[in-house]
Structure 1
Amino acid sequence: MSLSDHPIRLEARDVCVHYGAKQALYDVSIDIPDRAVTAFIGPSGCGKSTFLRCINRMNDTIEGARVTGRIALDGEDVYDRSLDVVELRARVGMVFQKPNPFPKSIFENVAYGPKIHGMVRNKAEAEEVVVSSLKRAGLFEEVKDRLHEPGTGLSGGQQQRLCIARAIATRPEVLLMDEPCSALDPIATAIIEELIDELRENFTIVIVTHSMQQAARVSQKTAFFHLGKLIEEGDTANIFTNPAKKQTQDYIMGRIG
C-alpha cells in the first residue's frame, strides 16, 4: 500500500509558534496519513518536538506560547475554542522521551485514562481494557503476575511499553511519540520499533527521532525540519535516497546537524 492510498488524518497549514518574542516554528504545512508512521527528523532545536506538541495542544501548558495557523484532525480544527482539550488528548495520545509511569500499580497506570474519561463503568471493564492494552503494547506476558506492583519497578524498556499501553488505553486515533527510544538500550529500542510497526495497523503515528536509521526503519513518511522550518517531506524511501533539497541531503550525509 503506497502512501497515496492512505487517507489524510491530520492537516497542518501555515503553523507558526512563538515562545514570547522568539519564533520557534515558521509556516509549517504538512498532511499526516492515517495508519502509517510519519517521522520528524532534524537537528536539536529545529522545531520538530515543538510541532509535535502543537498537535495535541501540549504547548498550551507553556507560558507565553502562541500558536497560529490551522491543525485539523479529521477536518476539525484542534484550536477551535469550543473544542474540549481533555477530549482532544484522549484522541491524540502521547508517549514522551523518558518513560514516565505514574507512581501507581501497573494496572492503575493503564486504567487511569479510561476511568477519568468515563470509558469504563466497573472493574470488569477496566480489567478488559488493561489486559488488551498491555497485550497490544507487547507487555502483558511479562507483567501478568505483577499487575498490582508499582509501574516504576519495571525496566526502562518495559516502562516505555507501559506508557504506550497507557496511551492506547483511551483508544486514541493518533499516537504522538517524542523520541520514545532515546533513553533505551538497543534491545529495548528494537522491541519498541517492532511494536510501532504493529501499532500502525490501527493508529496514525507521528514520531520525533534523532536517529535517521530509526526513521528509515519505522516510518513510511519523513519530514525534515531545520531552524524552525519544514524543509522537505515525502515518502521515507525517497527522502533518504533521493532528497529534493540540498539541506536535506546535507543532513542525511552528516554535513549539518
Structure 2
Amino acid sequence: MSAVAYADAPQEPRYETIRIPDPQPRDTKIAAQDVSVFYGAKQALHHVSIDIPARAVTAFIGPSGCGKSTFLRCFNRMNDTIENCRVVGTLDMEGDDLNDHSLDVVLLRARVGMVFQKPNPFPKSIYENIAYGPRIHGVSKSKADLDEIIESSLTKAGLWNEVKDRLHEPGTGLSGGQQQRLCIARAIAVSPEVILMDEPCSALDPIATARVEELIRELRENYTIVIVTHSMSQAQRVSDRTAYFHLGYLVEEGPTENIFNDPQEKRTKDYITGVFG
C-alpha cells in the first residue's frame, strides 16, 4: 500500500497516512487533527493527524529535518517561542485545544512536561531543581509537602538512592546520565499528564542510556510519553507505537512491532532497513 496524493492543492501534495490499529484499542490522550506548522513562508509540517495513546510510549522517528521535533513541540506550545512560527490545526487533550491561544501556556506546560536533548539542570542544588516547579505552580503547601514531592520525584526517576545524602549540592555536579534523570524528576514533580522527550539519550553513554530507557518503561504506567529519537533500536526497545515522518509528512504509524517488522509503506521500509536516512 502506497501513500496516496490528494488533488485539491497542486502546489502542496497531501498524503494519506497509513495507520495500523492496536490489537487492543487504547484510550486517546491527545488527538492531533490536520496540524501544519509554518516558519514564515516555509511549511515544515503538513496536515498531520494522529492519536497519542494514554499511558503508553509513542516514538517519532525519521531523518533529520523531517518534522518530528517540530510536531513534538506543538504539544506544549514550545513553537510559540520561535519567531514567525505559526501552527494551525487542532490538538485536543481531553477536551482542551492545546493550540487555542486563550489557553494559559504556563498551566499547559505543567500538564505537558518536557525533557530536552541535553541535560539542562538549573544552576541550583538538586533539591531546588525539583522544588522550582511545585513552588511556582503552587503544588506544595508546606515544607513537608515539598520534601515529600522531592523524594517521590527522585524515587520515580530512579535517582533518590544516589543523591539523597547530597540534596543541597549543585545539580550540575552530577554525571550526564544523572543530570538527565534529574531533569526527568523535575518534569514529573508537578504531576504532568504527558512527558515529551526530545532525543533524551543522544548526549549520554550506553550505560546511562540504558538506565533512562528503563526509566521510560517504568514511567509509562502512569504517564503518557512521546519520544523523538534517531535511534531505531531505542524506539523498538521503549515504545508501544511508532510514527514515521518524512519531509514534513506523517507517512505511517502503528504498533512498534508492526512498523519495524512489517512496514506497509516503501518509504518506511527503506528508512528502517537503511536504504536512506
TM-score bracket, shorter-length normalisation: over 0.9
Residue 15 (1) aligns with residue 35 (2) = yes
Matched, 1:201 2:218: no
2:247 pairs with 1:227: yes
Aligned 1:67-216 pairs, distance under 5 A? 67-216=87-236
Answer whether contact 2:89 2:99 (CA < 8 A) is retained: no
Alpha-carbon shift at residue 174 of structure 1 (Å): 0.3
Q: Is the 8 A contact 1:3 1:33 kept in 2?
A: no
How many pairs were matched up? 256
Superposed CA deviations along residues 57-84 of structure 1, whole A, max 9, x for unmatched, are: 0000000000000101112101223311
Paired letter, 2:98: V
The answer to whether the 8 A contact 1:111-1:126 is kept is yes
Provide the C-alpha distance between the structure 1 equivalents of 2:259 and 2:99, rounded to a whole number of angstroms.
30
The 4+ residue runs of structure 1 with deviation greater than 3 A are 2-5
Partner in structure 1 of residue 57 of structure 2: 37
CA distance in 1 between partners of 2:210 and 2:156 (Å) = 16
What stretches of structure 1 of length at least 5 have no aligned partner?
none
Partner of 2:80: 60
Question: What is the distance in 1 between the residues matched to 2:232 and 2:99?
Answer: 31
TM-score scaled by length of structure 2: 0.91
Q: CA deviation at 1:3?
A: 6.1
Summarize deviations over 1:164-184 as a string: whole Å, max 9, x none. 000000000000000000000
Q: Structure 1 residues 115 and 3, CA, compared in 2 at 3 Å: closer, same or farther?
A: farther
The residue type equivalent to 1:177 in the other structure is M
Q: Counterpart of 1:55 in 2: which secondary structure?
A: coil
CA distance, structure 1, for counterparts of residue 25 and residue 188 of structure 2? 25
The answer to whether the 8 A contact 2:33-2:48 is kept is yes
The one of 57, 67, 82 aligned to 1:47: 67
Distance 2:222 2:55 in 1: 6
One-letter amino acid of the structure 2 residue matched with residue 72 of structure 1: D
Contact 2:131/2:146, CA 8 A, preserved across alignment: yes
Distance 1:6 1:134 in 2: 29
The structure with the largest helix share of the pair is 1
What is the DSSP-based 3-state SS (H/G/I as helix, E as strand, rest coil) of the residue aligned with 1:29? strand
Q: Deviations over 1:172-199 (max 9, x none)?
A: 0000000000000000000000000000
Q: Which residue of 2 aligns with 1:238?
A: 258
Match of 2:44 among 4, 9, 24: 24
Identity level (%): 72
Structure 2 residue matching 1:5: 3-state secondary structure? coil
Amino acid at match of 2:258: N
Alignment partners' CA distance in 2, 1:209 and 1:4: 25
Secondary structure of the structure 1 residue equivalent to 2:73: helix
